[in-house]
């Protein structure tokens, strides 16, 4: 029986996944952040990313339904409220639809999946299925890509504000909100994973879950990139 990693070593392994596989390194993101995407490419990204956004509360509801620990459920439910909305907060899904309007898309086209690419649908559906069929702890572990998200979110927001002047600035509120929500969520998710992954096998599964999530995020961008460049194939 292998001795579990100490907390520092375990955290380092989780962080290393982001260093190696996070989709901030994908050519599509690099072009986006450099201001090199066309209006149509930005629109296609917004439209396809919406399928991921609208499935996040579904994923979190699955984690809630399978997690046996009340204290975790009490905190995790905030993620659903952040996306679906609560009281005066319209929620992240509504903010993303406003982003769609800000880049010149009709919100009903996003709600009807008009521009959804098959590769994006496959990747997102695979994520929901992963959370539905793996352990609740692996589901929570897969959320730890949020450890790497705030930096990318800040770079993306700056790029949109400075390099895409045609985007309505008021429609960028989703990204501004996530600058504070993502660190809060990642801190909570990491604390749960560090506390409840008590065996080496559970730690390995947690690392594999983060890697899987990174790969599906990469696959979504591959679908967009390959749509624009059919002769190219990208692998993380």
**94-104, pLDDT tens digit by residue?**
999 999 999 99
CA 120, CA 140: separation in Å to the nearest integer? 22
pLDDT score of 227: 87
Instruction: Name the residue among 111, 100, 80, 86 with its Cα closest to residue 174.
Output: 100
Q: What percent of the chain has pLDDT over 90?
A: 89
CA 185, CA 170: separation in Å to the nearest integer? 24
pLDDT at 231 over 70: no
* pTM, entire model: 0.94
pLDDT score of 88: 87
Q: What are 35's two structure tokens?
A: 């201001």
Mean pLDDT, residues 50-72 taken together: 97
pLDDT score of 232: 47
Q: What are 220's two structure tokens?
A: 């979504």
CA 95, CA 113: separation in Å to the nearest integer? 17
Are the beta carbons of 83 and 143 closer than 8 angstroms? no
pLDDT at 208 over 90: yes
Q: What are 179's two structure tokens?
A: 């600058």
Which residue has tokens 């639809």? 97
- Buried/exposed 101-133: b ≥16 CB within 10 Å, e otherwise: ebbebeeeebeeeebbbebbbebbeebeebbee
- Let me know how long the chain is: 236
Domains of the chain, by residue range, sit at 7-228
The CA-to-CA distance between both ends of the chain, in Å, stands at: 32
- State the chain's mean pLDDT as an integer: 94
Mean pLDDT, residues 117-135 taken together: 98
CA 99, CA 95: separation in Å to the nearest integer? 6
Are the beta carbons of 220 and 120 closer than 8 angstroms? yes
Q: Identify the three-state secondary structure at position 86.
A: strand
Q: Please, which pLDDT band fits residue 235 given cuts at 50, 70 and 90?
A: very low
pLDDT score of 233: 40
pLDDT at 214 over 60: yes
Are the beta carbons of 211 and 19 closer than 8 angstroms? no
pLDDT score of 229: 60
pLDDT score of 1: 77
pLDDT tens for residues 129-160? Answer: 999 999 999 999 999 999 998 888 899 999 99
Task: Quote the strand ranges of the chain, DSSP E.
Answer: none
Q: Span 7-228: which CATH code?
A: 1.20.910.10
H runs (alpha helix) in 67-163? 70-84, 92-102, 107-111, 118-133, 136-142, 149-163
pLDDT score of 108: 96
């Amino acid at each position: 029986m292998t001795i579990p990693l100490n907390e520092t070593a375990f955290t380092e392994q989780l962080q290393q996944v982001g260093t190696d596989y996070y989709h901030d390194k994908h050519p599509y993101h690099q072009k986006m952040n450099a201001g090199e995407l066309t209006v149509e490419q930005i629109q296609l990204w917004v439209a396809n990313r919406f399928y991921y956004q609208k499935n996040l509360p579904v994923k979190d509801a699955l984690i809630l339904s399978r997690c046996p620990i009340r204290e975790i459920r009490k905190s995790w439910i905030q993620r659903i409220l952040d996306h679906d909305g609560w009281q005066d907060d319209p929620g992240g899904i509504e903010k993303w639809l406003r982003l769609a309007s800000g880049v010149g898309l009709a919100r009903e086209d996003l709600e009807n999946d008009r521009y959804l690419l098959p590769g994006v649908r496959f990747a997102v559906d695979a994520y929901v299925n992963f959370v539905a069929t793996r352990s609740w702890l692996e589901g929570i572990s897969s959320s730890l890509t949020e450890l790497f998200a705030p930096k990318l979110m800040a770079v993306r927001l700056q790029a949109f504000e400075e390099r895409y002047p045609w985007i309505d600035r008021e429609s960028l509120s989703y990204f501004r909100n996530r600058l504070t929500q993502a660190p809060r969520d990642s801190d909570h998710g990491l604390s749960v994973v560090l506390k409840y992954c008590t065996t080496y096998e559970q730690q390995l599964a947690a690392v594999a879950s983060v890697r899987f999530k990174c790969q599906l995020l990469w696959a979504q961008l591959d679908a967009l990139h390959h749509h624009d460049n059919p002769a190219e194939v990208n692998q993380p």
